[in-house]
C-alpha cells in the first residue's frame, strides 16, 4: 500500500494555479523529502493531503483512503507538524499534548512525549511564552502522539537552532526505524540529504524531479566547477580556457573564471590560462553540490553549473554545500 | 469523543482569558450597584428581589448586556483560530469540522454560563449573608435564564464565526445580530409586518398572533417572557403557556441553526 498518492492533482485558487497536474507517490515506510522554493506549492499539496484544501481536479489518497471523505480516519493514524501554525497562547505545553492525546484517544503519558522533544522542563509554562523553536517542538510532540503510521512535517526545522535541527533529524530517523512513513517538506537541502530515502522537487506547482539523492546527483553528472582567480581575466584568457578539450562552459566573474569541466582537465585549464598571459593567483574545485542541483531544477538552469550558487544562497541557515572541497595552491 | 475534546480544550482556553475575569467583575459590579439601589430603606428588611431582577437586572444586564457578551465570547471562536493559524494545529488532529464548530459552541457556551453564574453569584453571596430577607431561589433561578440567553448568543456568534474567513467579518456579523435582536427587532419586524400586511390578512392568522410569534422568535424577548413567568410563579403554566413553549422552541432553534448554517459554509471552505 502507498502512504500518499496524488493522481493528476490540480489546485486553482482565484487567479493562480498553485499545483498543476501533480502525480506523487510516497511508499509506505520511506522517508520522502518534498523540496522546492517558497511558493512552489508544497504547502498547498500538504493541505490537500490533510483535507484543509480540496483539489480542483484529481484524486488524493492517503493510507489507502480518500483524503476528503475519510479525513478524520486518516488523521487518526497521521501525525502532522503544520507550517505557519500558532499555539494556544493561554494553555500550557502539557495541556497541548494532553489535548492531542484525548483527540487521538492514545494511551501515553504526556511527559514521555514532552521529554522526547526536549520540552519537559517547560511543560507547565503557557505556550504563549514559548520561543519559535519551542513551539515547533511542541507541535512535533503533538504529532508524535499515538505512534502515527504517517508523519507529515511541513518545514519542520523552521525556527529551530542547530541543536533543534539535529534533534528533529534524530526523531525522524527513529520514527522511520519504527516503521512510520515520513513525508516532509523543506526548502533547505542539507536536512533532506541527511534523512531522506527519496526526494521530489516541486517547482511552480509541478514535480520537476523525483529520485534518490544519489540518483539526482548522477543525473547532474560528475561535472566539477573549477574556480580560477587570475590577475587579469581578459577575453583572450577566457577564449583560451574555453578552447581546452573537456571544458563545457566558462563564465567570468570579475577576475575569476568559473569553469565547468571534466575532472581530468584541471591542470590543462590552468596551463591554458597561463599560456594566454594570465598569472593564476588561486584556484579551487567544487563538486556539484546539492545546492547547485536544487537551483538547477528550481531555477531552470542546466544541471551541473555551479556559477554563483553559494552567493545566491546566502540566507545564513544553510551549512556549506555538501561535498564541496577546497584545494589551494 | 472528539467534540468533547474540542469543547474541553476551548473551555479551558476561554476561561483563562483576561476578558473572562473582566466579565465576571463587570456582572458582579452591576448586580451590586442595582442591589444597592433597591436596598431595604428605613424599617423594612424585605429585600425586593423580584424588583431588582425584573426592573434593573433584567432590562439592563440580561436583555442588553448578556447578548453582547455572548457575541464577544463567540465571534472569534473559529475565525480567530483560522486567522492566527491555531486551526491548523486543531485540524491536524482527528477532528471533523463539525466537531470543531459544535465543540466550540459547547466549550464557549459553558464558559459563558460559568461567567454569568460567577458574576451573579458573588453579589448574591453577600446578599445572603446580610441580615435582610433575600429571595435566593428567585435570584438563582433567574441566573439560569440569563446564562441560557448568553449561550444562545454564543451559538449564533460561533455560527457567524464559522461562516466567515476573518475575525473582523465575524465581529461585524455578530454586532449585526446583536443590533437586530436587541436594538431593532421591534422596528424591523414592525416594518416587515407592515409591508406584508396585505398577504398576512389573507392568512388564517390574526395580526396579534403574528406579533406574538415574532416576539417569541426573538431569543431576547423569549427569555424575558420565560424569566418573568418564572418570577411570577407561572413558568410553563398560566395564560402564556403556548407562548412560553414557542419561546423555548425558538431558543433551541437559535442555538442549533446558526452553527449548522455556519458549518455548511465552513465545511466547503479551503482553509
A198 neighbors A225 (Cβ within 8 angstroms): no
Nearest Cα of chain B lies from the Cα of A230 at a distance, in angstroms, of 53
- pLDDT at position B12, please? 93
d(C-alpha B270, C-alpha B91), whole Å: 12
Q: Cβ separation of B270 and A47 shorter than 8 Å?
A: yes
- pLDDT at position A274, please? 86
Which of A6-10, B30-34, B125-129, B213-217 shows the lowest mean pLDDT across its residues? B125-129
- Nearest to A230, CA basis, from A240, A215, A219: A240
CA-nearest residue to B267 within chain A is: A52
* A chain contacts of residue B1, beta-carbon cutoff 8 Å: none
Q: Is the per-residue pLDDT at A313 higher than 70?
A: no
Nearest Cα of chain B lies from the Cα of A239 at a distance, in angstroms, of 56
Question: Could you say which of 3.40.50.300, 3.80.30.20, 3.40.640.10, 3.30.70.100 is the CATH number of the domain covering A222-312?
Answer: 3.30.70.100
Percent of chain A predicted with pLDDT > 90: 46
List Cβ neighbours of A222 (8 Å cut-off, separation of 6 or more).
Answer: A262, A263
Q: Is the per-residue pLDDT at A291 higher than 70?
A: no
pLDDT tens by residue, A28-49: 999 999 988 888 889 999 999 9
Nearest Cα of chain A lies from the Cα of B171 at a distance, in angstroms, of 20
CA-nearest residue to B1 within chain A is: A103
Nearest Cα of chain B lies from the Cα of A99 at a distance, in angstroms, of 7
Percent of chain B predicted with pLDDT > 70: 97
Q: Cβ separation of A88 and B86 shorter than 8 Å?
A: yes
Which of A68, A70, A90, A141 best probes binding to B when mutated, by most B CB atoms within 10 angstroms? A90
Which helix (H) or strand (E) segment holds residue A2: the answer is strand A2-13
Nearest-5° Cα angle at A259, A253 to A262 = 170
- pLDDT at position A300, please? 59
* A chain contacts of residue B88, beta-carbon cutoff 8 Å: 52, 82-85
What string of H, E and C letters represents the secondary structure of A24-68?
EEEECCCEEEEECCCCCCHHHHHHHHCCCCCCCEEEEEECCEECC
- pLDDT at position B45, please? 63
Nearest Cα of chain A lies from the Cα of B268 at a distance, in angstroms, of 9
Q: What are the backbone angles phi and psi of residue A278, rounded to the nearest 5°? A: -90, 150
Which of B14-18, B100-104, B264-268 shows the lowest mean pLDDT across its residues? B14-18
Which of A9, A11, A50, A52 best probes binding to B when mutated, by most B CB atoms within 10 angstroms? A52
What string of H, E and C letters represents the secondary structure of A209-233?
EEECHHHHHHHHCCCEEEEEEECCC
- pLDDT at position A193, please? 76
* A chain contacts of residue B92, beta-carbon cutoff 8 Å: 50, 75, 79-82, 85, 139, 142-143
Of B16, B85, B94, the CB nearest to A90: B16
Cα B244 to Cα A83, A321, B130, B218, B222, distances in angstroms: 51, 76, 35, 12, 7
Of A53, A83, A102, the CB nearest to B270: A53
Q: Is the per-residue pLDDT at A308 higher than 50?
A: no
Q: Cβ separation of B85 and A54 shorter than 8 Å?
A: no
Residue B203: pLDDT band with limits 50, 70, 90: confident
pLDDT tens by residue, A111-163: 999 999 999 999 999 999 999 999 999 999 999 999 999 999 998 888 888 88
DSSP codes, A179-219: T-EEEEEES-HHHHHHH-SEEEEEETTEEEEEE-HHHHHHH
Strands A256-261 and A65-66: unpaired
Which of A157-161, A303-307, B11-15, B131-135 shows the lowest mean pLDDT across its residues? A303-307
* B chain contacts of residue A47, beta-carbon cutoff 8 Å: 270-271
pLDDT tens by residue, A50-85: 999 999 999 999 999 999 999 999 999 999 999 889
Look up the ipTM and state it.
0.86
- pLDDT at position B263, please? 96
* B chain contacts of residue A71, beta-carbon cutoff 8 Å: 96
One fold for both A2-217 and A222-312?
no
Q: Cβ separation of B85 and A85 shorter than 8 Å?
A: yes
Q: What is the arithmetic mean of pLDDT over A293-304?
A: 59
> Could you tell me the maximum CA-CA distance found in chain A, to the nearest angstrom?
76
Q: What is the arithmetic mean of pLDDT over A273-296?
A: 75
Q: What are the backbone angles phi and psi of residue A253, rounded to the nearest 5°? A: -135, 90
- pLDDT at position A87, please? 95
Which residue has better confidence, B83 or A204? B83
- Range among A212-226, A249-263, B175-189 rated most confident: B175-189
* B chain contacts of residue A13, beta-carbon cutoff 8 Å: 270
Q: What is the arithmetic mean of pLDDT over A189-208?
A: 83
Q: Cβ separation of A85 and B86 shorter than 8 Å?
A: yes
* B chain contacts of residue A151, beta-carbon cutoff 8 Å: none
Q: What residues of chain B have any CB closer than 8 angstroms to a CB in chain A?
A: 2, 5-6, 8-9, 12-13, 16-17, 84-86, 88-89, 91-96, 270-271
Q: What is the arithmetic mean of pLDDT over A289-293?
A: 64
Q: Is the per-residue pLDDT at A264 higher than 60?
A: yes
Domain A2-217: CATH superfamily, name plus number: P-loop containing nucleotide triphosphate hydrolases (3.40.50.300)
Q: HSE on the CB side for A262, CA within 13 Å?
A: 6
Q: Is the per-residue pLDDT at A325 higher than 50?
A: no
Which of A35-44, A127-136, B46-55, B116-125 shows the lowest mean pLDDT across its residues? B46-55
Nearest Cα of chain A lies from the Cα of B91 at a distance, in angstroms, of 8
Residue A327: pLDDT band with limits 50, 70, 90: very low
Which residue has better confidence, B40 or A119? A119
- pLDDT at position B42, please? 65
Of A13, A85, A90, the CB nearest to B88: A85
Cα B166 to Cα B67, B163, B208, distances in angstroms: 21, 9, 41
Q: Is the per-residue pLDDT at A309 higher than 60?
A: no
Q: What is the arithmetic mean of pLDDT over A238-261?
A: 82
Residue A317: pLDDT band with limits 50, 70, 90: very low
B57 neighbors B37 (Cβ within 8 angstroms): no
Q: Cβ separation of A103 and B12 shorter than 8 Å?
A: no
- Per the prediction, chain B carries an average pLDDT of 87
Which helix (H) or strand (E) segment holds residue A253: the answer is strand A247-253
| CB–CB contacts below 8 A, A to B | 79
- pLDDT at position B122, please? 81
List Cβ neighbours of A248 (8 Å cut-off, separation of 6 or more).
Answer: A223, A260, A261, A304
Q: Cβ separation of A50 and B17 shorter than 8 Å?
A: no
* pTM, entire model: 0.80
Residues of B17-29 as b/e, b for ≥16 C-beta within 10 angstroms?
Answer: eeebeebbeebbe
CA-nearest residue to B271 within chain A is: A52
Which residue has better confidence, A323 or A255? A255
CA-nearest residue to A145 within chain B is: B93
Q: Is the per-residue pLDDT at A290 higher than 70?
A: no
- pLDDT at position B235, please? 84
Of A53, A75, A102, the CB nearest to B92: A75
Q: What is the arithmetic mean of pLDDT over B221-249?
A: 86
- pLDDT at position A126, please? 95
Percent of chain A predicted with pLDDT > 70: 84
pLDDT tens by residue, B126-171: 777 776 777 888 888 889 999 999 999 999 999 999 999 999 999 9
B66 neighbors B116 (Cβ within 8 angstroms): yes
Q: Cβ separation of A75 and B16 shorter than 8 Å?
A: no
CA-nearest residue to B9 within chain A is: A99
- pLDDT at position A318, please? 39
Would you list the domain boundaries of chain A?
Answer: 2-217, 222-312
Residue B100: pLDDT band with limits 50, 70, 90: very high
Amino acid at each position: 500500500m502507498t502512504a500518499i498518492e496524488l493522481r493528476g492533482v490540480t489546485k486553482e485558487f482565484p487567479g493562480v494555479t498553485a499545483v498543476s497536474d501533480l502525480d506523487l507517490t510516497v511508499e509506505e515506510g520511506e522517508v520522502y523529502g518534498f523540496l522546492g522554493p517558497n511558493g512552489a506549492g508544497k504547502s498547498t499539496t500538504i493541505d490537500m493531503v490533510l483535507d484543509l484544501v480540496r483539489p480542483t481536479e484529481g484524486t488524493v489518497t492517503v493510507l489507502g483512503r480518500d483524503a476528503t471523505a475519510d479525513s478524520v480516519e486518516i488523521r487518526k493514524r497521521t501525525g502532522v507538524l503544520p507550517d505557519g501554525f500558532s499555539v494556544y497562547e493561554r494553555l500550557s505545553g502539557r495541556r497541548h499534548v494532553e489535548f492531542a492525546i484525548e483527540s487521538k484517544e492514545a494511551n501515553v503519558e504526556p511527559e514521555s512525549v514532552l521529554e522526547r522533544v526536549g520540552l519537559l522542563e517547560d511543560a507547565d509554562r503557557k505556550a504563549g511564552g514559548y520561543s519559535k523553536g519551542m513551539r515547533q517542538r511542541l507541535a512535533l510532540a503533538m504529532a508524535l502522539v499515538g505512534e502515527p503510521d504517517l508523519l507529515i512535517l511541513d518545514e519542520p526545522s523552521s525556527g529551530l537552532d542547530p541543536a533543534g535541527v539535529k534533534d528533529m533529524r534524530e526523531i525522524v530517523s527513529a520514527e522511520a526505524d519504527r516503521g512510520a512513513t515520513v513525508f516532509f517538506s523543506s526548502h533547505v537541502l542539507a536536512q533532506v540529504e541527511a534523512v531522506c530515502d527519496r526526494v521530489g522537487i516541486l517547482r511552480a506547482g509541478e514535480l520537476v524531479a523525483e529520485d534518490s539523492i544519489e540518483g539526482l546527483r548522477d543525473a547532474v553528472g560528475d561535472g566539477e566547477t573549477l574556480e580560477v582567480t587570475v590577475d587579469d581575466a581578459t577575453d583572450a584568457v577566457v577564449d583560451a580556457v574555453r578552447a581546452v578539450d573537456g571544458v563545457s562552459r566558462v563564465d567570468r566573474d570579475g577576475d575569476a573564471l568559473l569553469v565547468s569541466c571534466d575532472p581530468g582537465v584541471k591542470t590543462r585549464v590552468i596551463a591554458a590560462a597561463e599560456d594566454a598571459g594570465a598569472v593564476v593567483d588561486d584556484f579551487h574545485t567544487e563538486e556539484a553540490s546539492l545546492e547547485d542541483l536544487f537551483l538547477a531544477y528550481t531555477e531552470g538552469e542546466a544541471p551541473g553549473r555551479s556559477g554563483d550558487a553559494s552567493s545566491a544562497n546566502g540566507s545564513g541557515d544553510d551549512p556549506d554545500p555538501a561535498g564541496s572541497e577546497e584545494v589551494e595552491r | 469523543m472528539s467534540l468533547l475534546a474540542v469543547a474541553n480544550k476551548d473551555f479551558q482556553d476561554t476561561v483563562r482569558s483576561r476578558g473572562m475575569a473582566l466579565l465576571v467583575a463587570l456582572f458582579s459590579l452591576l448586580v451590586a450597584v442595582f442591589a444597592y439601589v433597591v436596598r431595604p430603606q428605613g424599617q423594612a428588611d424585605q429585600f425586593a428581589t423580584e424588583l431588582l431582577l425584573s426592573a434593573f437586572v433584567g432590562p439592563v444586564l440580561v436583555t442588553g448586556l448578556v447578548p453582547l457578551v455572548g457575541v464577544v465570547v463567540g465571534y472569534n471562536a473559529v475565525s480567530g483560530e483560522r486567522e492566527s493559524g491555531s486551526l491548523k494545529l486543531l485540524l491536524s488532529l482527528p477532528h471533523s469540522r463539525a466537531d470543531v464548530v459544535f465543540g466550540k459552541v459547547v466549550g464557549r457556551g459553558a464558559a459563558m454560563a460559568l461567567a454569568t453564574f460567577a458574576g451573579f453569584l458573588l453579589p448574591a453571596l453577600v446578599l445572603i449573608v446580610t441580615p435582610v430577607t433575600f429571595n435566593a431561589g428567585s435570584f438563582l433561578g433567574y441566573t439560569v435564564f440569563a446564562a441560557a440567553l448568553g449561550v444562545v448568543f454564543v451559538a449564533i456568534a460561533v455560527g457567524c464565526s464559522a461562516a466567515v474567513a476573518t475575525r473582523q467579518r465575524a465581529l461585524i456579523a455578530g454586532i449585526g445580530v446583536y443590533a437586530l435582536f436587541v436594538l431593532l427587532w421591534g422596528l424591523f419586524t414592525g416594518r416587515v409586518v407592515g409591508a406584508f400586511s396585505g398577504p398576512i390578512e389573507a392568512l388564517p392568522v390574526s395580526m396579534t398572533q403574528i406579533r406574538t410569534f415574532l416576539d417569541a422568535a426573538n431569543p431576547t424577548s423569549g427569555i424575558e417572557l420565560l424569566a418573568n413567568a418564572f418570577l411570577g410563579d407561572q413558568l410553563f403554566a398560566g395564560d402564556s403557556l403556548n407562548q412560553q413553549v414557542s419561546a423555548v422552541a425558538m431558543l433551541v432553534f437559535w442555538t442549533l441553526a446558526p452553527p449548522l448554517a455556519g458549518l455548511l459554509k465552513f465545511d466547503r471552505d479551503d482553509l
